[in-house]
Amino acid sequence: MSKKSIEPTTEQSAEPAATEPTTDASPAAPQEAPAPAAKSAVPEPSAAWSDVDAIVGGYHGKPYDVLGPHVTTVKGKEALVVRAFRPLDDAVFVVETATGKRTAMTRIHPAGFFEAVFARRKAPFAYRLIVADPAGNEYELEDPYRFTEFFLTEFDIYLHGEGNFYDVYEKLGAHFRTVDGVEGVNFATWAPNAERVSVIGEFNAWDDRVHAMQRRSESGIWEVFIPNLVEGTHYKLAVKSRFLGYKVDKSDPFGFFAEVRPTTDSRIWNIDKYTWNDAEWMEQRPQRQALDKPMSVYEVHPGSWKRSPEDNGFLSYRDLAHQLVDYAKELGYTHIELLPITEHPFDGSWGYQVTGYFAPTSRFGTPDDFMYFVDYCHQHGIGVLLDWVPAHFPRDAHGLGFFDGTHLYEHADPRQGEHRDWGTKIFNFGRNEVRNFLISSALFWCKKYHIDGLRVDAVASMLYLDYSRQPGEWIPNRYGGRENLDAIDFIRRFNDLVHEQAPGAITVAEESTSWPMVTRPTYMGGLGFDYKWNMGWMHDILSYMAKDPIYRRYHQNEITFSLMYAFSENFILPFSHDEVVHLKRSMLDKMPGDVWQKYANLRTLYTYMYGHPGKKLLFMGGEFGQWTEWSEARSLDWHLLQWEDHQQMLQFSRELGQLYHAEPALYQVDSNWEGFQWIDFADADSSIISFIRRAKDPADHLVFICNFTPVPHSGYRVGLPMNAFYVEALNSDWTQYGGSGVDNKGGIMAEALPWQSCPFSAPVNIPPLGAVVLKPRWVEE
């Protein structure tokens, strides 16, 4: 910048300059303000000294009432006064936009409080400020406090306090805005117990005295408009509490973008500039995601599905789109479910300890890049589900915890507000603004990012006040029970609003207890989810499959009991990330026996899973037989695909997924007995089960026969529902999958011999540790 001498030129003279360190364009760190001078040593301000001292001392909650242009009375006459607090500047001038006339401001307080009186002016006018550093360098800028048109209306503030401002992300946070022809960014946050909240960043040398926000009401909304900021600018909220002298710099709870960890800055971003190309998908989504449509989910941790071969770094959202979508589509998946991509500070949390509920993590790119990922998925017929974590949040100092010097988002009592198992805080679901924050987050992802569904993590921990607590470590509800009534109300409201405001979007509960009616509508007394993870089925079948086949005859109930409750909810059958983490072993390595038997067991397990009523979910790596447990710190072992056995496992997974898509019997009637019929579940000695899956047209059916021992059976008679010729739609023992090749070449003709409660039957060859899927080719009249 040019260096100029600083001399007063118009109506008012400047006082001798104090030696403050630098201007707001300098990277120098802010210094403490000097002690106030005696009031008699400086000119009398037009504002009350109490207001001046509060601005300078950093405890004035309404800086717009003092700073900027104000019509007031000076020496008994009405005049316009412009006030500015520039603690890092040596001199300040007011420049009229219309005429370019420059007026020096008087330093009223040595800490940097300036004012200029315009005796002939009776109304505010457009102006800019010129500020100068001790060396005489000048910088021209807009005065944020001359823009007095606030972004949030009184009705917005009322709705927020009531807990019904569900589009609050459109106003709170950082938003580009044009005021009086000047472009800038509007900042707003909620901190009812703060004495002062400021926006800090590189644009003001991270000085929390420069851009103090205005307290809009007692509800605790704070707001300021800062001109001329650009996209990508780093910022934080400096919060000074009215209690305990607590001061902290926070990430923006409503921020749309964050700096890559370990830095915790928020970043300004315009999320409304992306052009979507998925209109056809969004229009068809309600039909595509109906209960009678196929749903097979590929669960993915974006940071470890694949890594860059050059530096082992993360793939970007755009790279993931091009590589992951084609792969998932080839394997017959209908949806990709992402472990939480909401911003989080610690990689080892897998995303489940969230600090940015409105920001996709910057590890993989910008918000626009994530929009591209979702858009690309939709254009290629793949839905996107997002793990969403409203149950708890981390203790990190820059996050939501103790936000304004009080327990704002969490309960104060640790018996209600802490998850001791996880070392995290629990949201106060009974507070209107907290419910509003979480519901707005859910709607935000569905509306702004076109997310097709939210899988809600740790629902059981929300429902029960005594979750993972000993007697005396929890507080009963008002009726003396252990149900968390506030959380139940929140969950029901969340589900109602997602279904109302995001047509076709689905919600999924990770709920591990026997809480009733999880997937029943709220008007029937249910929680309102579309699906629930079937954790009981998952636990039982993995327990069964881990046993040596010689002992499975004594545990037949573990593979049959799930049908006792299979239709009590709308279930998803999950083999998720939780089952393949440290000390749990991979899906392939869970299986007993030698290498051949491990593969055979896994193929049989997957075939049974796809035949069992319920939608399907598999975590990445299980499809090709990953040997090692999953770690977020490294890529899947893609090099294993150079070996034939892993290639064969992948081929099996691909053709099983294609069968699922091709056969309505596997998905149309998942939630009642019309879609399922046991043929025989009692042959425990042979560890064989058989059953029928039916489509809406009962004649459209498949017969499943599963053998969970390494003993093959020739001519094993199986009941059949129709007098038809049956062919193998799939056989997990086919040689192309690495099996032994025991099959039923040419097909099977049903015989008029009633068997196992079926009117027809036929002898079937059943492979060792294998599953056979029979489909009627034609029916005998």
Do residues 174 and 212 touch, judged by C-beta distance below 8 A?
A: no
CA-to-CA dists, residue 574 to 43, 277, 546, 609, 616, angstroms: 74, 31, 17, 9, 6
Residues whose CB is less than 8 angstroms from the CB of residue 50 and which lie 6 or more positions away in sequence, other chains included: none
Amino acid at 120: R
Instruction: For Cα atoms 105, 109, 115, give the angle at the middle one, nearest 5 degrees.
Output: 25
| Start-to-end C-alpha separation, the chain | 95
Is 510 considered catalytic here?
yes
d(CA 666, CA 676): 10
**Residue 457, SS3?**
coil
Residues whose CB is less than 8 angstroms from the CB of residue 714 and which lie 6 or more positions away in sequence, other chains included: 765
Written as six digits, the tokens of 485 are: 């009534």
Contacts 24+ apart (CB under 8 A), 68-76: 68/143, 68/144, 68/145, 68/146, 68/147, 68/148, 69/124, 69/125, 69/127, 69/146, 70/46, 71/122, 71/123, 71/124, 72/46, 72/47, 74/46, 74/117, 74/119
Do residues 598 and 312 touch, judged by C-beta distance below 8 A?
A: no
- Annotated active-site residue in 510, 569, 663, 670: 510
**Residue 595, SS3?**
helix
CA-to-CA dists, residue 293 to 325, 569, 663, angstroms: 20, 16, 11
Residues whose CB is less than 8 angstroms from the CB of residue 618 and which lie 6 or more positions away in sequence, other chains included: 296, 297, 298, 299, 575, 606
Cα 337 to chain center, whole Å? 11
d(CA 37, CA 204): 25
Residues whose CB is less than 8 angstroms from the CB of residue 164 and which lie 6 or more positions away in sequence, other chains included: 436
Residues whose CB is less than 8 angstroms from the CB of residue 259 and which lie 6 or more positions away in sequence, other chains included: 234, 265, 266, 267, 362
- Annotated active-site residue in 457, 623, 680, 733: 457
DSSP 394-426: ---TTSSTTTTSS-SSB-SSHHHHEETTTTEEE
In this structure, the chain runs to a length of 781
Do residues 607 and 771 touch, judged by C-beta distance below 8 A?
A: yes
Is 457 considered catalytic here?
yes
Written as six digits, the tokens of 458 are: 């740790």
Instruction: For Cα atoms 363, 365, 368, give the angle at the middle one, nearest 5 degrees.
Output: 145
**Per-residue DSSP letter, 700:** S
d(CA 717, CA 501): 53
Do residues 104 and 9 touch, judged by C-beta distance below 8 A?
A: yes
CA-to-CA dists, residue 538 to 541, 559, 560, 614, 616, angstroms: 5, 10, 12, 12, 11
Written as six digits, the tokens of 397 are: 């100092």
**Per-residue exposure over 372-398, b if at least 16 CB sit within 10 Å of its own CB, e if not:** bbbbbbbeeebbbbbbbbbbbbbebeb
Cα 548 to chain center, whole Å? 40
Catalytic positions: 457, 510
